[in-house]
């Protein structure tokens, strides 16, 4: 069986390889944690992703609409509707008429969703807190900037994947 791991790029530093390996491990472990925690809360992974987008957009004062969720998550309108129905049924979101477009609705998270999220990710936060506490404000700013840029790079790579 051929080696499934490509050889290191000779043009990259050992530090860059370490970062890529660490990101790969973190994303894998994060995915596994979310899968485990979502089972505890009886939520689908898609529901959690949708809820995260709705929360993030809300923090940026950007409206979350079903159409925007469909586009962001690459879901059909019926799949997005089913996800929102599940989230609404469990008390995680509410839907209300869009204030600027009568043809659309906005989706907002509820206090219940925030409480469930706090329980779900509180354990992870408790384990991450000492890791963050060992860093200076300058180190945290550098880490945050890197992760923000890595997130944007990941979005750009995802957009290059041909549609199904």
Structure tokens at 37: 């925690």
pLDDT beyond 70 at 123: yes
Name the residue with tokens 């925690």.
37
Write down the pLDDT at residue 75. 93
Phi/psi for 124 (5° steps) reads: -65, -45
Reported for 39-45, long-range contacts at CB under 8 A and 24+ positions apart, including other chains, are: 40/120, 41/116, 41/119, 41/120, 42/90, 43/86, 43/90, 44/83, 44/86
Domains and CATH numbers, the chain: 16-133 (1.10.10.10)
Structure tokens at 60: 């940026």
Percentage of the chain lying above the pLDDT 70 cut: 93
CB 83 within 8 A of CB 44: yes
Structure tokens at 17: 């390889």
Write down the pLDDT at residue 10. 64
pLDDT tens, position by position, 5-48:
555 566 677 899 999 999 999 999 998 998 888 888 888 889 99
Q: 87: Cβ–Cβ under 8 A, 6 or more apart, which residues?
A: 47, 50, 51, 93, 113
């Amino acid at each position: 069986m051929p080696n499934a791991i490509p050889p290191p790029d000779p043009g990259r530093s050992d530090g860059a390889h370490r970062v890529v390996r660490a990101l790969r491990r973190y994303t894998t472990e994060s995915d596994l944690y979310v899968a485990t925690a979502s089972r505890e809360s009886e939520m689908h992974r898609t529901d959690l992703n949708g809820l995260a987008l709705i929360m993030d957009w809300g923090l940026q004062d950007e409206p979350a609409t079903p159409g925007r969720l469909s586009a962001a998550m690459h879901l059909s309108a019926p799949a997005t509707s089913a996800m929102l129905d599940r989230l609404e049924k469990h008390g995680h979101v509410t839907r209300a008429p869009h204030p600027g477009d009568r043809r659309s609705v906005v989706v907002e998270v509820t206090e219940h969703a925030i409480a469930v999220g706090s329980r779900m990710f509180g354990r992870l936060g408790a384990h991450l807190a000492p890791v963050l506490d060992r860093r200076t404000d300058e180190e945290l700013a550098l880490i945050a900037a890197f992760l923000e840029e890595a997130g944007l790079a990941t979005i750009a790579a995802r957009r290059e994947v041909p549609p199904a």
